[in-house]
């Protein structure tokens, strides 16, 4: 019997371990190596690839963001497209963090509007748009979220007003409202204060999940843009709080 813990340790030491390496290291046949790999994979302790395996989270923080990005990408694009529809020409909109909100960029790049954001991804998405006046909030750069936040960002907001605020969410439910893993809650609050309407963009997988911090209560949000996978009761609950639930398909 091969000690699976030893194998796990060995794999975790490296970025990538080939089946061959395991054969050599533990003196086992390819079949056995593959079996062990299968077991560890089904336990979620490694990620199996053609040719071998890698530790589950070798991708690290930076790419973890990109993985989230590829998840539910189609829904996110559809949601963003619909949300862009409520933006009037010559209006001012705030785009707050989140991968879903970033997807708005392609749909507004030719509009004549002013965009205020804390997200470097939004900046990159709109940097070549001549019609868009792009205002970046300042603050400490958060390399995980690729956005800025903190004192400077809040300070900048004090002289700002906006017609629309679009924000993402790590999770939402009818009890707590909308939440995020991001700690910059005061930024969200200030933006809600300063905006005429507040919209949340969140695909249906976010329902009943929760982030660490509440960013907005149900009462503070006018629009929820989501996809058709949203639970019907959730939709009812949202609409009872006067949130317009917009379903992308």
Partner DNA sequence: TCGTAAACGTTCAAATACGCGCATTATGAA
Partner DNA sequence: TTCATAATGCGCGTATTTGAACGTTTACGA
The contact set with a second copy (CB under 8 A) reads 1, 3, 5-6, 8-9, 12, 15-16, 18, 43-45, 49-52, 54, 56-60, 62-63, 66, 69-70, 120-121, 123-124, 127-128, 130, 133-141, 143, 146, 148, 150-153, 155-156, 159
Coil vs helix vs strand at 220? helix
Out of 10, 14, 28, 58, the only residue in the binding site for DNA (CB under 7 A) is 28
Structure-block tokens of residue 202:
């969140």
Q: Which residues pair with 248 in a beta bridge?
A: 227
| Residue 43 in contact with DNA, rule: CB under 7 A | no
Least distance CB 53 / a second copy (angstroms): 10
CA-closest candidate to residue 242, choices 215, 223, 216, 214: 223
Structure-block tokens of residue 187:
């930024």
Out of 9, 15, 25, 30, the only residue in the binding site for DNA (CB under 7 A) is 30
Out of 15, 38, 193, 239, the only residue in the binding site for DNA (CB under 7 A) is 38
> At 155, phi and psi to the nearest 5?
-60, -45
Q: Of the listed pieces 50-58, 72-80, 166-174, 204-212, which binds DNA according to CB under 7 A?
A: 50-58
Let me know: does 79 contact 148? Beta carbons within 8 Å: no
CA-closest candidate to residue 125, choices 101, 148, 149: 101
| Residue 27 in contact with DNA, rule: CB under 7 A | yes
How far is the C-alpha of 154 from the C-alpha of 192, rounded, in Å? 12
Return residues touching DNA (CB under 7 A): 1-2, 18-20, 27-32, 34-36, 38, 48-52
């Amino acid at each position: 019997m091969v000690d699976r813990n030893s194998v796990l340790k060995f794999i975790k030491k490296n970025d990538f371990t080939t089946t061959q390496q395991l054969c050599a290291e533990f003196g086992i046949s390819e079949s056995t190596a593959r079996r062990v790999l299968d077991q560890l994979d089904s336990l979620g302790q490694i990620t199996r690839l053609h040719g071998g395996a890698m530790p589950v989270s070798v991708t690290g923080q930076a790419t973890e963001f990109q993985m989230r990005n590829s998840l539910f990408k189609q829904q996110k694009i559809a949601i963003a497209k619909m949300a862009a529809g409520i933006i009037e020409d010559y209006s001012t909109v705030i785009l707050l963090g989140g991968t879903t909100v970033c997807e708005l960029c392609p749909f507004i790049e030719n509009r004549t509007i002013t965009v205020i954001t804390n997200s470097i991804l939004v900046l990159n998405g709109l940097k070549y748009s001549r019609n868009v006046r792009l205002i970046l909030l300042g603050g400490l750069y958060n390399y995980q979220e690729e956005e800025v936040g903190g004192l400077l960002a809040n300070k900048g907001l004090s002289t700002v007003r906006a017609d629309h605020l679009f924000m993402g969410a790590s999770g939402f439910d009818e009890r707590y409202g909308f939440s995020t893993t991001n700690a910059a809650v005061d930024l969200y609050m200030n933006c809600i204060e300063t905006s005429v309407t507040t919209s949340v963009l969140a695909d249906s997988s976010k329902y009943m999940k929760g982030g660490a911090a509440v960013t907005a209560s149900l009462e503070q949000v006018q629009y929820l843009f989501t996809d058709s996978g949203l639970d019907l009761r959730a939709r009812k609950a949202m609409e009872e709080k006067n949130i317009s639930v917009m379903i992308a398909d």
